Amino acid sequence: MSAQNELQATVDALAQAGKGLLAADESGPTIAKRFKTIGVESTEENRRAWRTLLLSTPGLGEFISGVILYEETLGQQADDGEPLPQLAAHQGIVPGIKVDTGKIPLAHASGDEITQGLDGLAKRLEGYKAQGARFAKWRAVYNVSDTLPSRLAIEANAESLARYAAICQEAGVVPIVEPEVLMDGDHSLTRCAVVTEAVLHEVFHALNRHAVVLEHMLLKPSMVIAGKGHALHASVEQVAAHTVAVLGRTVPPAVAGIFFLSGGQTPEEATANLDAINRTGRRPWPLSFSYGRALQESPLDTWCGQPQNVREAQLALLKRARLNAAASLGCYDANEEIV
């Protein structure tokens, strides 16, 4: 199969109507924090058990088309010795991999951050691909205030995202481009919209400079939402209207699909906002989900590290996946939250 056909086949598998992505790529410190909330130590065995629970959930492939894995998980096996990426693939779920190595302060830009991981990326992708990964993800973060992010941060992160995407496509790996405008802070919905529009404009200028094929990439943006500390809580209709407007001004129609991150929203908020977005106006791309905590929180609370809770936890995951799949089609029923 040619590289272009390989990329197209992966995009087609990921961007299926009524399906989204499960983000299970938490770094060591992040998953340790999640486990601490349920009183479970973050050992390799516990992380393996948790991610095996997720990927072995019967019927998950009906609602989930791809899973983003952490590097450790890519090399782990289920209890029967089956590699976890293969366990996902057997459910029709495409395995992917987080390839950035985290964020650091951006020099000469107080309050801004830059993502690392480009060094040796092409070589690493060879190994990831051999382990079954067919797509990759790189996250850039943007802190928001009256003055942040700076122009330097917007440009530097766009350049890194574009370089990453180009390297992935050269390797036959579909890139997911994730520019996250953070919810931390007290900024307004309007301020978030202004920042998100500036960020996405710059990202697509950079992707164009690096000759990234838009049909063979996916975008994982944040929704346009006010900061957690802002006094006014926007309605789902306001979030949807601002989000779709910003995307319409910045994202070319050629992009294969848009998979929103949940970014600190509660599971219920993330589902309701996605549904409202899909009930809004004209849009040339499929609008779905790539959720981590918003899919995992309920099953994690149910599991609590106890083997006897595995099936119940899987049912909790399946419910959240099903509700978000409905939201990706604009047919979510909030009454199902209490069923």
Write the pLDDT tens digit of every residue in 228-267.
999 888 899 999 999 999 999 999 999 999 999 999 999 9
Distances (CA, A) of 327 to 220, 243, 268, 320: 16, 15, 11, 10
pLDDT tens, 153-181? 999 999 999 999 999 999 999 999 999 99
Is the model's pLDDT at 91 over the cut of 70?
A: yes
For residues 299 and 321, the answer to whether their CB atoms sit within 8 Å is no
Pick from 91, 92, 58, 20: nearest CA to 329 = 20
In whole angstroms, give the CA distance from residue 39 to residue 263: 23
Report how far residue 116's alpha carbon sits from residue 99's, in angstroms, rounded to the nearest whole number: 9
Considering the entire predicted model, what is its pTM?
0.97
The residues, any chain, with a CB within 8 Å of residue 26's CB and separated by 6 or more, are 34, 70, 292
pLDDT at 39 (0 to 100): 96
**Which pLDDT tens digit goes with each residue over 307-318?**
999 999 999 999
Cβ-based burial of 152 (10 A; exposed 0-12, middle 13-18, buried ≥19): middle
Active-site residue numbers? Answer: 178, 220
Residue 40 scores a pLDDT above 70: yes
Classify residue 220 by burial, with Cβ atoms within 10 Å: 0-12, 13-18, 19+. buried
pLDDT of residue 183: 94
CA distance 236 to 259: 17
How does pLDDT run across 104-137, given as a tens digit for each residue? 999 999 999 999 999 999 999 999 999 999 999 9
Average pLDDT, the chain: 96
Longest dimension (CA), the chain: 54
Q: What is the pLDDT of residue 176?
A: 98
Homologous superfamily of domain range 3-338: Aldolase class I (3.20.20.70)
State yes or no: pLDDT of 95 exceeds 90.
yes
Q: What is the CA radius of gyration of the chain?
A: 19
Average pLDDT rounded to a whole number, residues 69-91: 95
Is residue 321 scored above 70 in pLDDT?
A: yes
**pLDDT per position as a tens digit, 203-221:** 999 999 999 999 999 999 9
Q: Quick check: 1 pLDDT over 80?
A: no
- Do 299 and 22 meet the contact criterion of CB atoms below 8 Å apart? no
pLDDT at 151: 97
> Is the per-residue pLDDT at 8 higher than 70?
yes
Taking only the tens place, the pLDDT of each residue in 46-73 is 999 999 999 999 999 999 999 999 999 9
- Helix 121-130 vs helix 151-170: crossing angle, to nearest 10: 50
My answer on whether omega of the bond before 149 falls inside 30° of 0, hence cis, is yes
Average pLDDT over residues 13-33: 96
pLDDT of residue 339: 67
Above pLDDT 70, what percent of the chain? Answer: 99
Q: Is residue 111 within 8 Å of 145, Cβ to Cβ?
A: yes
